[in-house]
Amino acid sequence: MSIVYYLLGNIDKPIGLTEITRLVYLLTLNMPSSRMEKRTADVHAPNFTTLVDSHLKALKWKKSELIMAMSTEPLAGASFSAVQLSRWANGQRGVSRATAVRTALAFALEYDKRRATQPNLDPRPGLDNLDWMLQEFLNAAGYPGNLRTLPRDTIWNRILDEKVVRVAFTPIAPWSVEGQTGPVGPSIEVAIRVTMLLGFRIDWRKCSWAELPSLVREREVDIVAPILMASPARLRDYRFSKPVGKRTFRLKLMASKSLFAPNKEPSFETVRRKYQLGYVVGEIGEIACSLLPATGPELQRHSDIEAALNWLRESKQETPRILASEEMTCERLAEHPLVSFAPPEEWAKIAFGISFGAHPDEQKLVDAIDYCLPLLEEMLPAEFKPLNNSTTREST
């Protein structure tokens, strides 16, 4: 929970920025303090100035403007000047805890102020994530925090030390399936090649779809093999790599062949007036369902593709049942009595590539993966390469 929300939840009257600053500062006073910690802060001071410079660059904010903000209420009180910045950069002076806290708050306020005019800013820094920013600045200044939030790129730094990447996968044919000696499949092959290029070893971690977000969030795994479509709803759980290869994966529908007249091509128009729409959690079909109006069809949620197929195969269907899924899945599994067909026009442009997924704070790890992907372009498995008849498929 954000510190700001915690504080606001325990105060009956309105609270201003001055009160926020003072309450946050008081909260950090219970951190351990000693002469040894002071010497540690001296050593870490250059890290603090590097962090300050990175945020200044992101905001296109001048040092003189930051210094002015730090001398104005509610931030005034901490020692912050051009001379101090120079001393910190050279390791001649440690950064006080109060300065670290107030600097984090100064940047949080400025990010919120500038977001309207700089839409490409990193969406995380700001008052809504003040607890994370506090931890980042306190760690950079050399103070062991008492918050559970870890600094950015924690996993990347651990990988550099241990040379091992914990790669999560879930069995989903044909992308990643269990073999005799470990997982196999096109997504597994890409993960192996990227890890080899980076000079690391792989520690495979098998898990279910439902477990993936929490394992990534709690840093129990380092990355998810490229089995993920970078859908909008997943941005809160993952930082995605660039798509692997140039192929895009589109939506297709599946239903029982008995719904359609003999000797006629299956068509969505046949069942448009009334139908049940099923989808598998985490797949492209779920995205399509989220775009439906409130007056749309009854939705049926499934935990995996096998459950969805069993639902489609049930003989007694008072209302026609349709499954929305990824085109390759539909074409591969649409065997008698099932048949696949094109979605309605309003869903025709729903398409995604497949990406690696990492913790939202792991920018360096994702940057490293993105650097490797172009090197693999010519040796990617066929599943990641554009289909020769993609133009035809898109028009159907």
Instruction: Choose one of 141, 163, 186: the last residue of a domain.
Output: 141
Per 3-state DSSP, the chain is made up of helix, strand and coil in percentages (nearest 5) of 45, 15, 40
**pLDDT band at residue 193, thresholds of 50, 70 and 90?**
very high
In 3D space, the residue among 320, 170, 173 whose CA is nearest the CA of residue 254 turns out to be: 320
Does 27 reside within a domain? yes
Point out the domain boundary residue: 118, 141, 164: 141
Span 86-104, mean pLDDT?
Answer: 74
Per-residue model confidence (pLDDT) at position 376: 93
Note whether residue 148 is domain-resident. no
Question: Does residue 235 form part of some domain?
Answer: yes
In a domain, 149, yes or no: no
Using pLDDT thresholds of 50, 70 and 90, give the confidence band for residue 89.
low
Any domain includes 178: yes
**67 and 191, same domain (yes or no):** no
The model's confidence at residue 60, banded by pLDDT at 50, 70 and 90, is confident
In a shared domain, residues 225 and 317: no
% pLDDT > 70, the chain: 78
Same domain, 277 and 341: yes
Based on the fold, state whether residues 162 and 35 are members of the same structural domain.
no
pLDDT of res. 243: 94
Question: In the prediction, which pLDDT does 184 show?
Answer: 95
Residue 21 near residue 31 (C-beta atoms within 8 A)? no
Q: Do 282 and 209 meet the contact criterion of CB atoms below 8 Å apart?
A: yes
φ, ψ at 362 (rounded to 5°): -100, 65
What is the arithmetic mean of pLDDT over 148-163?
A: 84
Are both 293 and 306 inside the same structural domain?
A: yes
Q: Which of 81-85, 159-163, 287-291 has the highest mean pLDDT?
A: 159-163
Is the pLDDT at 177 greater than 80? The verdict is yes
pLDDT confidence of 41, banded at 50, 70, 90?
Answer: very low
Statement: residue 78 has pLDDT above 70: no
Q: In the predicted model, what is the mean pLDDT of residues 9-20? A: 53
pLDDT of residue 163: 94
Can you tell me the mean pLDDT for 207-218?
A: 86
Residues 361, 223, single domain; the answer is yes
Query: Which pLDDT does position 4 carry in this prediction?
Result: 45
Write out the DSSP string of 328-363. Answer: HHHHHH--TTEEEEPPPGGGTT-EE-EEEEE-TT-H
Specify if 393 maps to a domain: no
- What b/e sequence results for 231-253 when a residue is b if at least 16 CB atoms lie within 10 Å of its CB, and e otherwise? beebeebbbbbebbbebbbbbbb
pLDDT of residue 91: 62
Total domains, the chain: 3
pLDDT the model gives residue 364: 94
User: Quick one: average pLDDT of 261-272?
Assistant: 80
Tell me: do 99 and 182 sit in the same domain.
Answer: no
CATH number at residue 239: 3.40.190.10
Q: Which residues of 166-189 are buried (b: 16+ CB within 10 A; e: fewer)?
A: bbbbbbbeebbeeeeeebebbbbb
- 175 with 186: CB under 8 angstroms? yes
> Do both 181 and 125 map to the same domain?
no
pLDDT of the residue at 388: 60
Do 302 and 182 lie in one domain? The reply is no
User: pLDDT tens digit string along 340-354?
Assistant: 888 888 787 788 889
Q: Per the domain annotation, does 325 fall within a domain?
A: yes
| Distances in whole angstroms, Cα of residue 116 to Cα of each of 58, 64, 134 | 15, 22, 23
Does the pLDDT at position 248 exceed 80? yes
The predicted structure's pLDDT at residue 31:
46
Question: Taking the model in full, what pTM does it have?
Answer: 0.56
Domain residues for the domain of 193 are 154-244+353-387
Mean pLDDT value across the chain: 79
Same domain, 159 and 227: yes
Of 141, 173, 188, the last residue of a domain is: 141
Identify whether residues 292 and 223 lie together within a single domain: no
pLDDT at 295: 63
Same domain, 73 and 198: no
Give the pLDDT of residue 189.
96
Residue 146 lies in a domain: no
